[in-house]
Amino acid sequence: MSLMIPDLENYFRGFIPRREALLLALEEEAARESIPIVGPVVGEFLYLLARATGAKNILELGTASGYSGIYLARALPPVGKLVSLELSADMARRARANFLKAGVAEQVEVREGQALELMAAMTGTFDLIFLDIDKESYAPALPHCRRLLRVGGLLIADNVGFAGADAFNREIFTQPSWRAIHLLAFLPQHSPERDGLSLAVRVE
């Protein structure tokens, strides 16, 4: 007899965190318009990681409609700040409206443009960076993440099961600046539901 609960994936669908009408509406919109948001499990995971690490300054790459940003912003202390980078002017406009509705607009700054260019021009130190742009940009973004993240800071990368993330996966696994793991996970309502997540701490 197996020691495991049968049909684990359906079983864990019973543990999707509850969320309010705004987040549910953003999920419906994302499904309708094929906006690849992280969904409620990774959203809550981001909240937990940001909260548990006490992150005060967070950088997000890939705002989309602001769904993951709402989870991250809600984990901030009152003095904290989220900077979120987004290529699409339409998405940036929608995200700003959603941050207002979520009551976090004062703590969130959405910057429009190509994330790699925006990062190259940035200074400052972040406690946590969340990487969720086009996967081919993950590896080129890594030196910027290292420069902008404090030693001891946390880098979270979504969708590392995508072929485009392969170079990033190999680099973060081998570079001495990082201690990293890759988790292959079942993530209900994530796009896609079976995917990899990478967690890394900058160690030098």
- Please give the residue ranges that form the binding site for ligand SAM (CB under 6 A): 36-38, 62, 64, 67-68, 85-88, 91, 114-115, 132-134, 137
Cβ-based nearer residue to ligand SAM, 28 or 179: 28
CB of 38 to ligand SAM, least distance (A): 4
Cβ-based nearer residue to ligand SAM, 62 or 153: 62
CB of 18 to ligand SAM, least distance (A): 18
CB of 172 to ligand SAM, least distance (A): 18
Half-sphere exposure in the Cβ direction for 140 (13 Å, CA): 13
CB of 3 to ligand SAM, least distance (A): 35
Cβ-based nearer residue to ligand SAM, 45 or 67: 67
Cβ-based nearer residue to ligand SAM, 86 or 195: 86
Q: Please identify the residue of the shown chain whose CB is closest to the bound ligand SAM.
A: 62
